[in-house]
Amino acid sequence: METEKSLISIIIPILNEEQNIPLIYKGILGAWKNLESKYDYEIIFVNDGSEDKSGEMIKNLSKSNARVKYIEFSRNFGKEVAVSAGLHHSKGGAAIIIDADLQHPPGLIPEFIKKWENGFEAVIGVRKESGKDSIVRNLGAYLFYKIMNSIGETKIVPYSTDYRLLDRKVVIEFNKFTEKNRIIRGLIAWLGFKRGYIYFNAGKRTYGKARYSCYGLAKLAVSSFVSHSLFPLKLAGYFGTFLTLVFGVLGFLVFVNKYIVGDPWGLSVSNNTIFAIIILFSVGIILASLGLMALYIANIHSEVVDRPMYVIRSKKL
Ligand code: UDP
Ligand code: MG
């Protein structure tokens, strides 16, 4: 694999983006007008199991433009894996990762490259906080970064996106990662290197729907928790959480009733009942912890099984 300083790889993960593909392609060509004297590009579309015309369109583009390349997965493996495959196969002195839905404006590519020219090895697009998302999503994002940055060993800049440029050095190191459950942002944060930031307003998706529902995002946030083989343990966790909540609330009410408002309805809850509530509450905590442990074990399980990260049906590189 030869590396030329003048080549820049652009990696675009694609899941059912037939309406966006022509637009993002045009956007990139447009951005390249001021860059072409200095840099060559290769566009790597990673078709992550699209069921619309995306695959066909990508192949047609690659026929009309030799700089357009593609990798087609045998099914949907998820965006994080699609981008990883693109990075594995990129040859440029830098790789730019960009969404197909134009939420990552291709017009900013020259700015990313400028930062890179100034010595930054990872240039990260950061979304300016925008009120466009629902409250639930904003709160979810807030909590995600809060928790991640307090318990995780690597810090993630809030609202950093997957719109980024990575120097070849970073890509080479990134390609050494073998875990299958991955969040690229987290891995890149872990890698370190000299990072620069570009702030932008993420617009709304031009066509199609965002694939990540709130549930999907929550799932991504705890993306290591995937294997279904530990469902019974997880069930124990759910049950435990339920017990903890119910008996926590019940215990609180009984306490308030007895000691604070002085039992106005004459319930005279027996000591045995209080005892039972305390025990069930504690059992709930134990079961919930077990469920949490199941998630860690599930993660170990899926890494140990060591399946390939993705399966390619066809490619042109
Ligand atoms: N995508 C993908 N595989 C998936 C989900 C999404 O390749 O399983 C692609 C999608 O086509 C788009 C990018 O990843 O180019 C971002 O997806 P989306 O807009 O749905 O995510 P969000 O904007 O909510 O982060
Ligand atoms: Mg999007």
C-alpha torsion 220→222→227→232, nearest 10: -130
Does residue 229 have a pLDDT over 60?
Answer: no
Tokens standing for 22?
């022509």
C-alpha 160/C-alpha 155 separation (Å) is: 11
CA of 49 to the centre of ligand 1 (A): 12
Q: DSSP letters along 28-61, please?
A: HHHHHTTTTTT-EEEEEEEE-S--STHHHHHHHH
pLDDT average, residue stretch 149-160 = 74
Residue that is written with structure tokens 């652009």 in the block: 10
15 lines ligand 1 (CB under 6 A): yes
**What are 168-183's pLDDT values in tens digits?**
999 998 998 888 878 8
User: Which of 58, 101, 223 is the pocket-test mutation for ligand 1 (most atoms within 8 Å of CB)?
Assistant: 101
Does residue 94 have a pLDDT over 90?
Answer: yes
14 lines ligand 1 (CB under 6 A): yes
**Sequence spans of domains, the chain:** 6-229, 231-304
Which residues lie across from 9 on neighbouring strands? 42, 95
**What are 239-248's pLDDT values in tens digits?**
999 999 999 9
pLDDT of residue 208: 67
**What are 116-127's pLDDT values in tens digits?**
999 999 999 998
**What are 128-153's pLDDT values in tens digits?**
865 566 777 778 778 877 777 776 66
Tokens standing for 306?
């060591």
212 lines ligand 1 (CB under 6 A): yes
Higher pLDDT, 135 or 63: 63
C-alpha 195/C-alpha 166 separation (Å) is: 9
Does residue 1 have a pLDDT over 70?
Answer: no
pLDDT of residue 179: 83
Higher pLDDT, 36 or 134: 36
100 lines ligand 1 (CB under 6 A): yes
C-alpha 142/C-alpha 153 separation (Å) is: 18
Does residue 163 have a pLDDT over 50?
Answer: yes
Asked if residues 88 and 175 have their Cβ atoms less than 8 Å apart, the reply is: yes
CA of 265 to the centre of ligand 1 (A): 57
Angle 142-151-197 from CA coordinates, rounded to 5°? 55
C-alpha 300/C-alpha 303 separation (Å) is: 5
Ligand nearest to the CA of 20: 1
Higher pLDDT, 251 or 202: 251
User: Which of 15, 43, 81, 181 is the pocket-test mutation for ligand 1 (most atoms within 8 Å of CB)?
Assistant: 15
The b/e string for 138-148 (b: 16+ C-beta within 10 A; e otherwise) is eebbeebbeeb
pLDDT average, residue stretch 109-117 = 94
98 lines ligand 1 (CB under 6 A): no
CA of 36 to the centre of ligand 1 (A): 28
pLDDT of residue 187: 85
- Looking at the CA of residue 217, tell me the nearest atom of ligand 1: 24
C-alpha 84/C-alpha 177 separation (Å) is: 10
pTM of the model: 0.72
pLDDT of residue 153: 63
Tokens standing for 317?
């590189």
Higher pLDDT, 148 or 106: 106
Angle 160-166-169 from CA coordinates, rounded to 5°? 135
Q: Which 8-state DSSP code applies to residue 126?
A: E
Does residue 101 have a pLDDT over 50?
Answer: yes
- Looking at the CA of residue 76, tell me the nearest atom of ligand 1: 8
CA of 104 to the centre of ligand 2 (A): 8
Q: List the beta strands (DSSP E) in the chain.
A: 4-14, 40-47, 68-73, 92-97, 122-127, 160-167, 195-200, 312-316
C-alpha 226/C-alpha 236 separation (Å) is: 16
137 lines ligand 1 (CB under 6 A): no
Does residue 220 have a pLDDT over 90?
Answer: no
Please count the residues of the chain.
317
Higher pLDDT, 105 or 139: 105
Tokens standing for 198?
């570009």
Three-state DSSP class for 134? coil
C-alpha 238/C-alpha 240 separation (Å) is: 5
211 lines ligand 1 (CB under 6 A): yes
Three-state DSSP class for 10? strand
pLDDT of residue 46: 96
Q: Classify strands 195-200 and 122-127 as parallel, antiparallel or unpaired.
A: parallel
Q: Classify strands 40-47 and 4-14 as parallel, antiparallel or unpaired.
A: parallel
Which residues touch 120 (CB under 8 Å, ≥6 apart)? 167, 194, 195, 196
Ligand nearest to the CA of 12: 1
Atom 18 of ligand 1: nearest residue by CA position: 210
Atom 5 of ligand 1: nearest residue by CA position: 79
pLDDT average, residue stretch 65-71 = 94
**What are 264-292's pLDDT values in tens digits?**
888 888 888 888 999 999 999 998 998 88
Give the domain 6-229 fold. Answer: Spore Coat Polysaccharide Biosynthesis Protein SpsA; Chain A (3.90.550)
73: Cα separation from own chain's centroid: 19
pLDDT confidence bin for 226, thresholds 50/70/90: very low
99 lines ligand 1 (CB under 6 A): yes
